[in-house]
Chains A and B, each alone.
Chain A
């Protein structure tokens, strides 16, 4: 059992390139990303106007995947150096299993919701759309396909991506510790090949994964690369004026383009060659434009919010940081709350007030749950006879 494991020696800076202190910025932005993902997952929600995707190419998904890669490298990279490849791989796979269980739990909740919504509903406007519930006539097939991660209903596609990314993580991190540049180059190569040869995994009942793991591994892999010292290597460039100028320019460009989506009459200001080259901006395969948009955001963040920014300890940011420190639990809760919010909007009211109310209530519930988990960890850590919690384990979003 875990409890009988001998206490691990305190981590020393034996690994020069793995930072020791916890970077609260990661928790903060992962917490914020979780809130934004929750808001975006509530269909037709007025509050989702505040979310990133309305102002530029990328959205909270990029932030979430990047930080997950960063922290996973941080935690499992150290484990691999201290305990070797077998133990570190076993831990990564255990984590992947936990995410899988969480995903199946959410699927059960989802099935309960839509089974309820689909019955006793009839409306002559929606004859075609109601056909989506046909799969409920074959629950056996739907369940097996869900267990195989092929059947992923709307908004249930980030966790399967995360499972695949974790499953493929041990060899990557092994390589990352030996030759960071080689590892990153390998990740970029897979990304390019996936575009070249249309690699993706099949989905049920048809189509492919809406987050292509062969493409999105780049974001995760890049995060891991940054987490194991890459950030320092490119640090001087990131903090240069040139990088800031490029980032600001690109963010403004992206903002202007996104505005033409809402006001198509201005789209003739976008030259035809640019439109032909640019569209479609693909989320499934992590379009380069989206990746670049994330880089620009990250560059400005690193430039203007230093690691030891005093306000990070401010009470104002505490709720988001708490959520970011328990990302798996809070992510799952967010998906569940988005279902619940949709359910309330369908059954009670979908007015603007209701949208604001369910959004605020949902975020409050996420914060309260994160605080509760923190409290649990604290009392368990203090109870007699138990081992102290492994250092920084929940940087990876929970237990290491």
Chain B
């Protein structure tokens, strides 16, 4: 399977992410997290000691329940980054609307960017579009438009694709939409956080039981914690790449 193959090749080539997540469970998927492209705005923001990140997403970027908000990955990302960047004021704001398609999110961008000026927008999308069967062309066009809007506002972008959801895999045809995201990411050199591959790897390695029928939020919270950590790693790594990349070019 793709994830295993990529992990294997990554190990062989020694191109795993540099930073190691603290949590052993999270680290299982470390090799699937690559800072493929730099995040210059984040780098600048870190220098200016004020880093603001917006997470725009649908239901899978949140957790239900009284502690849901503090346990979901956007809050975890804020905690991790604050810890790793002690001299920087880190703020992560989540703009979550369940079942929102990519095109609908793009319409929100202006509104979001009018109030705040995030250095980075983490754009989690794909699930709602796959569930609704939106034309993949239109999905791709929405991504194109979103990238252009965000770039015009001088925000870095990071795509996050769908969750690995084994129960619904034969019902939601996610692969096509994941491919479209990958194409747009390559075309615009946008960083893609492959949440699908990461979670599938966890499931295969037995790190997390994603099949369990349960009301207990413990596993879900642990998964989100790991997603936040890995996301934090890749953001920091990509910010560090800015200097290196600059040297390579000139």
Contacts and interface: CB of A to CB of B under 8 A. Distances in A.
A261 to B, nearest CB: 6
Contacts of B14: none
A54 B2 contact: yes
Nearest to A157: B173
A117 B203 CA distance: 18
B165 A49 contact: no
Contact of B217 (A124, A130, A155, A261): A124
B4 A126 contact: no
A153 B171 contact: yes
Contact of B1 (A49, A124, A128, A283): A49
B204 A129 contact: no
B132 interface: yes
A49 B37 CA distance: 26
A156 B60 CA distance: 26
Interface in A87-131: 113-114, 117-118, 120-131
A129 B170 contact: no
A129 B165 CA distance: 7
A262 B183 contact: no
Contact of B214 (A122, A128, A133): A122
Contacts of A355: 1
A45 B137 contact: no
B161 interface: no
A155 B170 contact: yes
B76 interface: no
Interface string B127-138: 110011111110
Interface string B198-223: 00100110100011111111011001
Contacts of A265: 15, 34, 36-37
B127 A129 contact: yes
B184 interface: yes
Nearest to B206: A351
A132 interface: yes
B98 interface: yes
Contacts of A155: 170, 173
Contacts of B15: 265
Contacts of A131: 59, 99, 131
A189 to B, nearest CB: 21
Contact of B168 (A132, A207, A267, A285): A132
Contacts of A338: 170
Nearest to A135: B171
A261 B182 CA distance: 7
Contacts of B192: 264
Contact of B189 (A132, A208, A267, A285): A267
A128 B170 contact: no
Given A153-B171, A154-B171, A270-B186, A124 B134 contact: no
A356 to B, nearest CB: 11
B166 A43 contact: yes
Contacts of B170: 43, 113-114, 153-155, 338-339, 342
B187 A351 contact: no
Contacts of A125: 60, 63, 163, 165, 210, 219-220, 223
Interface string B209-245: 0111111110110010000000000000000000000
Contacts of B166: 43-44, 345-346, 350
B49 interface: no
A217 interface: no
Given A155-B170, A262-B2, A203 B98 contact: no
Contacts of B203: 44, 350
B6 interface: yes
A346 B167 CA distance: 6
Given A121-B213, A128-B60, A129-B165, A280 B37 contact: no
Interface of B: 1-2, 4-6, 9, 15, 34, 36-37, 58-60, 63-65, 98-99, 127-128, 131-137, 140, 163-173, 176, 179-180, 182-187, 189, 192, 200, 203-204, 206, 210-217, 219-220, 223
13 contacts: A113-B170, A118-B167, A128-B58, A129-B163, A131-B59, A131-B131, A153-B170, A207-B133, A265-B15, A265-B36, A270-B186, A280-B136, A346-B166
Those 10 A-B pairs whose CB atoms lie nearest each other, nearest first: A128-B59, A207-B133, A43-B169, A46-B1, A154-B173, A264-B36, A279-B183, A124-B220, A125-B220, A280-B183
